Amino acid sequence: MIAVIQRVLNSSVTIDGSVCGECEKGLMILLGVAKGDTEQDARLLATKIAKLRIFCDENGKMNLSVKDVSGQALVVSQFTLLANYKKGNRPDYFGAAEPSVAIPLYEYFVELMRAEIGHVETGRFGADMQVNILNDGPVTIVMDSNALK
């Protein structure tokens, strides 16, 4: 499972002209589910992300987590994070899990994040979405659950 984590002032996702998910100060998480991922991958990522100290304390040091600042999160599925771009100029996505596997793992990850931080909204799996992100910093981290095992 791969996550792109961005510290944001706000973020929203729009589908067919209507906002379907948004968050204020907190995290924008783009989540890609790979073939072979399990609930363990979701747990590892959710736990690490919720405790990731990337928010500034009173001294301007990145010493606080999204939990510490009572932040929110917006989680959007993104299979393109699993792109294979080694050959040619058109990436393939054969490394992404099939929807029958990816959807339950994505939903499980969202449940875990809600248990950790409370306010978590989402996009819609498989939809054509427009994502608005106001990065704060910017702070962007790419996290792979395989590196946490």
Is residue 107 within 8 Å of 56, Cβ to Cβ?
Answer: no
CA gap 19, 33 in Å, rounded: 24
Return the pLDDT at 117. 96
* Structural domains in the chain plus CATH codes: 2-148 (3.50.80.10)
Which of 14, 38, 47, 80 does the annotation list as catalytic? 80
Q: Measuring CA to CA, which residue among 22, 25, 23, 31 is closest to residue 49? A: 31
User: What letter does residue 51 receive in the DSSP assignment?
Assistant: H
What pLDDT, on the 0 to 100 scale, is given for residue 38?
98
The 10s digit of each residue's pLDDT in 33-88 is 999 999 999 999 999 999 999 999 999 999 999 999 999 999 999 999 999 999 99
80 catalytic? Reply is yes
Mean pLDDT computed over 116-143: 96
HSE, CB side, 13 Å, CA atoms: give it for residue 145.
Answer: 23
